[in-house]
Amino acid sequence: MLEQTFIMLVVGVVAGFGGAILGLGGGIIVTPVLTLAFGLDIKYAIGASIIAVIATSSGATIAFLKDDVLNLRVAMFLEIFTTIGALTGAILSGFFNSTFLFFLFGLLLLFQSWNMYRKLKGSEKPLIKAQPDPTAEKLKLNSSFYDVASKQQVDYQVEKIPGGSLIMFGAGLASGLLGIGSGAFKVMAMDSMMKMPLKPSSATSNLMMGVTAAASATVYFFNGSINPMIAVPIALGILGGSTVGSRVMQHLHARTLRMIFVPVLFLIAIQMILKGFGVNV
């Protein structure tokens, strides 16, 4: 029992550090590790994972809030759509079996890694300036941040708010259904659709993930999917790992982040899909 707790603690530290660096929830790491490496029932893995997401988000935000990278208005506005999605997803998850969940998880990761790979190959400077948008003006979503890596103040605008909101609902649905933070989808909504720079997208996504996860976590908490012997050591490990990870993340370049992102997601995706078909690798 002591050994298992120690292993879970280590899983937490790794997930927290990696999750914060990649702008993911940590859940995307926890669920595959618990199911693929430890053979845990995916329902308990999802329960532990949603706790991992909250711990990553809260741990990372503590570090992020000391600078002005994140955009609180964007976070709160889009949170409406993600929390409704998350609640819907958590309730729906009770109606699906494990095979379906594995398959869905794998497909989600595969799509995401392909999307990021395309962007990585596309151009050196992925930032395309957003067009002035009256909705963004009205909602006061435009902002600026200080980029530590390039050492300059960057002003930015956002656009296509309805499209971004729709992806956010989908991100919330995936979060509630699979116990992930859907950081990948959230970053995609902000950086690809709404044309927000990657760093404020990642930081804002980190903040949003916790709130989104809280909506579905209460459902999982009360229906018994959250096992304290798994979730507690992972949460404690993550609180440590994510605090360190989010500080390191600030000093990395956007391209470096994507280059880590892509192969990790791709490998996990293949494994989850195979697991869905009953093949253990």
| Residues in contact with another protein by the rule CB under 8 A | 1-2, 5, 51, 54-55, 57-59, 61-62, 65-66, 68, 70, 72-73, 76-77, 79-80, 83-84, 86-87, 90-91, 139-140, 144, 207, 210-211, 213-224, 226-229, 231-233, 235-236, 239
- The Cα-based distances of 205 to 20, 47, 121, 130, 141 in angstroms read 10, 20, 23, 19, 15
Nearer to another protein, 115 or 144 (CB): 144
Nearer to another protein, 140 or 255 (CB): 140
Nearer to another protein, 83 or 112 (CB): 83
CA distance 77 to 269: 30
DSSP 6-70: HHHHHHHHHHHHHHHHHTS-SHHHHHHIIIIIT---HHHHHHHHHHHHHHHHHHHHHHHTTSS-S
Nearer to another protein, 113 or 175 (CB): 175
Find the shortest distance in angstroms from Cβ 19 to another protein.
15
Find the shortest distance in angstroms from Cβ 220 to another protein.
8
Is the Cβ–Cβ distance between 9 and 236 less than 8 Å? yes
Nearer to another protein, 60 or 268 (CB): 60
Nearer to another protein, 228 or 263 (CB): 228
Find the shortest distance in angstroms from Cβ 145 to another protein.
11
Find the shortest distance in angstroms from Cβ 217 to another protein.
5
CA distance 68 to 90: 32
Find the shortest distance in angstroms from Cβ 212 to another protein.
8
Collect all residues with Cβ–Cβ distance below 8 Å to 186 and sequence separation of at least 6: 78, 82, 168, 171, 201, 204, 205, 208, 209
Find the shortest distance in angstroms from Cβ 99 to another protein.
23
CA distance 139 to 161: 10
